[in-house]
Structure 1
Amino acid sequence: MTWMRWRPAMEAALYGPEGFYRRPEGPAGHFRTSVHASPHFARAVARLLTEVDEALGHPPELAFVDVGAGRGELLAGVLAAAPAELAGRLRPYGVEIATRPAGLPSTVLWTAAPPSGVTGLLFANEWLDNVPLDIAEVDEDGVLRYVEVQPASGLERPAEPVEDEDARWAARWWPALRPGERVELGGPRDTAWATAVGTLERGLAVAVDYAHRRADRPAFGSLAGFRDGREVRPVPDGSCDVTAHVALDSAAVPALHSLWTTQREALRALGVSGGRPPLALASSDPVAYLRALGGAGEAAELTDPAGLGGFGWLAQSVRMPVPRSLEGVAGWQTLMP
């Protein structure tokens, strides 16, 4: 049987010719993201886009770069919600390895990598958790070793000690000392995010994902699989999504003005609230009341701290002021090397 380190196994399982993200049904056929949960999410991103435009001084061309665009659901929602005054200047990009989906507006540029030198908003919703990475485990002698996996079965075994670069990353960002503790080595994700942010000439880069920080790393990791709406064993055979939560504090590009917050706080700052409509509306306009009640339920799902609201948001501004809605969110700081 073939044994592989987790990173190449994930790469093949997710993005190879028969990989999960090339399947015709797309991610929405297996799990709900914030984009699928409610149009409130796309509207909030559209509001953030207009505030980025304002902070940038209304440039002649404003990019919206959707990294990990899936089947274009967020792009379509943002374009539908964007104000008319942006229409002539907005340049939307879908960044995805899958084939361009049918039905997207012709203005959307579909590409396998973020475009370079653009000005605007780069948004990566649940992308970094699917950037492949290696996994390591502490052995009985306290040595951190790579974990190998059989792609067909998901069986694992310890392999050679981690290389110097990964050892340095673990020591700084995910120190593990006790036998059996696991480390999800996030260096490739740090590089992927830095590369994406580096494509912005000016603008805001936002990564949204299930995440953790150094103080609360999961001792035994977060590797998981998803298929048909339920969690399954993370077998890297292409039949399921294989994902792990993101060390967003490690991914943050140094020396940029940066915000770490939760989705709950970010969306509330952007006008998404799960508050119930006034009861008086039920008497004066029952249809409007039911519509508002449904919208409040969707907003509550997006901001639930035990669910989607618990996502981490990492926002980094590149040669631009902080958008006004985010100014009031606690957590802005300049992260230095």
Structure 2
Amino acid sequence: MSTKSDIAQSMPASNRLSLLTQRKRMAWLFLSPMMLVLLAVAGWPLLRTIGFSFTDANLGNLHDYQFIGFENYLVYEAGEWYGVLADPLWWRAVKNTLFFTLVSVSAETFLGIIVALTLNAQFKGRALVRAAILIPWAIPTIVSARMWGWMLHDQFGILNDIFMTLGFIAEPVAWTADANLSMWAVIMVDVWKTTPFMALLTLAALQMLPSDCYEAAKVDGIHPVRVFFKVTLPLIAPALMVAVIFRVLDALRVFDLIFVLTSNSADTMSMSVYARQQLVEFQDVGYGSAASTLLFFVIALCTLAYLYLGKKRMESY
């Protein structure tokens, strides 16, 4: 029986080129409504933000501003460097964001794989466990952050009460106020909330794997750990990479979780929190827009790097 690929290969080159052109046109036709909506919803605000980053606009009067070039980004005056790129607090926010992204996404990926492997096994009550696992992810971030804020409170938080009862700590700990613990507290809450997302995507990939490979490995007596690293992990790698890039992009722009738990603390300040502080509290639209633009370019570079590596991976097959 001939497949579609066989039929396409048997067609003349001119007909194949015409068919490919028609498919591309149809693809753009179907994508055009979404692209127009995206341009209106995201494109215009983005361009406006980039435009404001080259001005001295103030939140009190957005219609009265002057073009100042790259002064919001970096400028040298009177022997000193000024601008976002010369602000130590900005670079601390960059460091905090990258650390948060690296640790939280790594932990979520590791735990997500373990949870997915567990849920992929056959056991009684599996459907109930699957539904329960998704609860943290279904809770809105603001709600979960506020809930954990109460649980981590140094005076009447339940975690301090439990740890003191068990003898792990001698006195209440200010989890979100201590400079050495606040970032780890934020990471813990993010891992609790987002691990189900990683588990869900990984589980979907696991359920699409062919059973032939595992039956052959079982017959050959190969250890399950070796089967995982040699068979399972390579097969779910594409889906896992999609989940990771989504989480990386989401973690790089983290705002609500950190702001609710630690407000504007420099110990946990992310790039989004820094931009919000400049825009809202200091009402410096130009300076805050410059920080937001830099954040956009960081995320865009990560996206382009992923697309480039994904293309290279596809070409290698």
TM range (shorter): under 0.3
1 or 2, which has the higher helix percentage?
Answer: 2
| TM-score normalized with structure 2 length | 0.25
Larger relative contact order (CA 8 Å, sep ≥ 6): 2
Is the radius of gyration larger for structure 1 or structure 2?
2
- TM-score normalized by the length of structure 1: 0.24
Structure with the larger strand share: 1
